[in-house]
């Protein structure tokens, strides 16, 4: 039944959500979304509304997750294959080698079930590296998709027909939704609720979850504290200098002089250490500082543009559009603490 079905305008019929289980599955991928869906019944005023979540696996024997916690399935894959599925939710699993490199896993048997169950589902979603299972089943061909940033390159190289974008926290392409890493499963689940029942209810659930913010799909899954840590004292000194003087005109020439190197050498250092140019890094720090002020203060955009080194509000707005795919005003409206 679609969200706009005239026979159910208030969404009073429960929607069946099937979450796949398999050995080594990421625990939060499985448990996070049901927490969001369970709160919908409270918001709608009764247990007869909202979602019915079924955990499905090959058998009904307990499944051991990546965290070592065992989960008992509600049904087998065969049993849910006979049901009309509203939302198929596919989590993922990874292996980590001795060098701490992360590799998403795609069990052929699970992939086969994903493909079969997807054909019976109104909506197909993946959380974190579950996108690799959707891609292996051919469900992302010709589509834009996201996944956890650590496996995005793997997803792209193994699936050339998929347009991989590692930045957004979730992406919707028709009836296929893909979500980014770990806690972004909550953002994706809230977006599904908003799609089915409206933005107001989704925001109310976010407050019940005491979520710091409810992020739209275009929101970046990265922030400056998550950027790679510098491996040399010189670049770390430059990073600290930038943060301490963010309101100053931090040109390449200025930074090169501070580091006692030439402009070209400075650019090479930043690209080698941080994977970006000095100007791009400075802009990202400024955007991060502006984000914090938008979230926690009532400062005007003019004031934020000045204290964060943008100079003008127009420059601030252009930077937000470029880095976060949103505007400062929209960001504050959605994420104000």
In the three-class reduction of DSSP (H, G, I as helix; E, B as strand; rest coil), residue 179 is classed as: strand
CATH code given to domain 15-208 = 3.40.50.880
Of the pLDDT bands very low, low, confident and very high (cuts 50, 70, 90), residue 3 is: very low
User: What number is the average pLDDT over the span 196-220?
Assistant: 70
C-beta neighbour count of 180 within 10 angstroms: 31
Report which DSSP code applies to 47: T
Q: How many residues belong to the chain?
A: 337
For the ranges 43-52, 120-129, 305-314, the lowest mean pLDDT is seen at 43-52
What is the rounded average pLDDT of the residues 226-232? 50
| Cα gap 207→304, rounded to integer Å | 27
Residues 6+ apart with CB under 8 A from 244: none
Q: CATH code for 224-335?
A: 1.10.10.60
Annotate 50-101 with DSSP letters as a single string: SEEEEEEESSSS-EE-TTS-EE--SEEHHHHTTS-EEEEEE---EEE-TT--
Catalytic-residue membership of 185: no
Mean pLDDT of 262-287: 91
Residues 6+ away with beta carbon under 8 Å from 5: none
Q: Which helix (H) or strand (E) holds 170?
A: strand 170-173
What average pLDDT does the structure give for the chain?
A: 87
Task: Find the helix packing angle between 278-296 and 328-335, rounded to 10°.
Answer: 40
Catalytic residue among 110, 128, 140, 145: 128
Residue 219: pLDDT band (50, 70, 90) is low
pTM beyond cutoff 0.75: no
Identify the residue with better confidence: 15 or 97: 15
φ/ψ of 323, rounded to 5, equals -90, -40
Please write the tens of the pLDDT for every residue from 240-261.
899 889 999 999 999 999 999 9
How far apart (Å, rounded) are the C-alpha atoms in residues 323 and 290?
12
Given its phi and psi angles, is residue 138 left (phi above 0), alpha (psi -120 to 50 degrees) or beta? left
Tell me the β-bridge partners of 70.
64
> Can you read off the two tokens belonging to residue 67?
């965290």
pLDDT for 211 equals 62
Burial letters for 220-231: b for 16+ Cβ neighbours within 10 Å, e otherwise?
Answer: bbbebeebeebe
C-alpha–C-alpha distance, residues 41 and 49, integer Å = 6
Average pLDDT over residues 271-299: 89
Is residue 223 pLDDT above 60, yes or no? no
Say whether pLDDT at 50 is over 70: yes
- For the cut 60, the answer to whether the pLDDT of residue 106 exceeds it is yes
**Does pLDDT of 102 surpass 80?**
yes
Tokens of 8: 């159910």
- The answer to whether 235 touches 229, Cβ cutoff 8 Å, is no
pLDDT on residue 48: 59
Q: For 112-136, what is the HEC assignment?
A: HHHHHHHCCEEEEEECHHHHHHHHH
Q: Please state the rounded mean pLDDT for residues 43-57.
A: 82
The pLDDT of residue 266 is: 92
Q: What percent of the chain has pLDDT over 90?
A: 61
Range name among 60-64, 120-124, 136-140, 295-299 with the lowest pLDDT average = 295-299
Task: Match 């956890």 to its residue by tokens.
Answer: 148
pLDDT over threshold 70, residue 229:
no
pLDDT at 331: 86
Decide: residue 301, CB within 10 A, 0-12 exposed, 13-18 middle, 19+ buried: buried
* 315 CB-near residues (< 8 Å, 6+ apart): 305
Q: Taking 60 as the threshold, does the pLDDT of residue 24 lie above it?
A: yes
How is the chain split into domains, by residue range?
15-208, 224-335
Packed helices 252-259 and 278-296: angle between N→C axes, nearest 10 degrees: 100
């Amino acid at each position: 039944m679609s969200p706009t079905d005239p026979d159910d305008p208030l969404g009073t019929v429960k929607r069946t959500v099937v979450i796949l289980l398999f050995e080594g599955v990421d625990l939060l991928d499985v448990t996070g979304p049901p927490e969001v869906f369970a709160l919908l019944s409270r918001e709608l005023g009764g247990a007869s509304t909202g979602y019915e979540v079924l955990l499905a696996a090959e058998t009904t024997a307990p499944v051991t997750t990546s965290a070592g916690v065992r989960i008992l399935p509600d049904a087998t894959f065969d049993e849910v294959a006979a049901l009309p599925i509203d939302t198929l939710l596919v989590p993922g699993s990874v292996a980590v080698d001795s060098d701490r490199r992360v590799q998403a896993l795609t069990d052929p048997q699970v992939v086969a079930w994903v493909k079969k169950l997807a054909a019976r589902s109104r909506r197909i979603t993946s959380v974190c590296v579950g996108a690799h299972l959707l891609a292996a089943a051919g469900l992302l061909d010709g589509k834009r998709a996201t996944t956890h940033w650590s496996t995005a390159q793997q997803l792209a190289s193994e699936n050339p027909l998929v347009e991989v974008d590692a930045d957004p926290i979730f992406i919707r392409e028709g009836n296929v939704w893909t979500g980014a890493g770990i806690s972004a499963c909550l953002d994706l689940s809230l977006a599904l609720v908003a799609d089915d029942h409206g933005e107001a209810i989704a925001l109310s659930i976010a407050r019940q979850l005491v979520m710091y913010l409810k992020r739209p799909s275009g929101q970046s899954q990265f922030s400056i504290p998550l950027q790679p840590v510098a491996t040399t004292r010189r670049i770390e000194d430059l990073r600290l200098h930038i943060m301490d003087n963010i309101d100053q005109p931090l040109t390449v020439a200025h930074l090169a002089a501070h580091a006692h190197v030439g402009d070209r050498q400075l650019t090479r250092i930043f690209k080698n250490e941080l994977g970006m140019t000095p100007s791009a890094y400075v802009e990202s720090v400024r955007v991060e500082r502006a984000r914090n002020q938008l979230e926690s203060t009532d400062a005007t955009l003019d004031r934020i543009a000045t204290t964060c080194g943008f100079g003008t509000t127009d420059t601030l707005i252009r930077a937000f559009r470029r880095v976060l795919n949103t505007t400062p005003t929209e960001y504050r409206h959605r994420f104000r603490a």
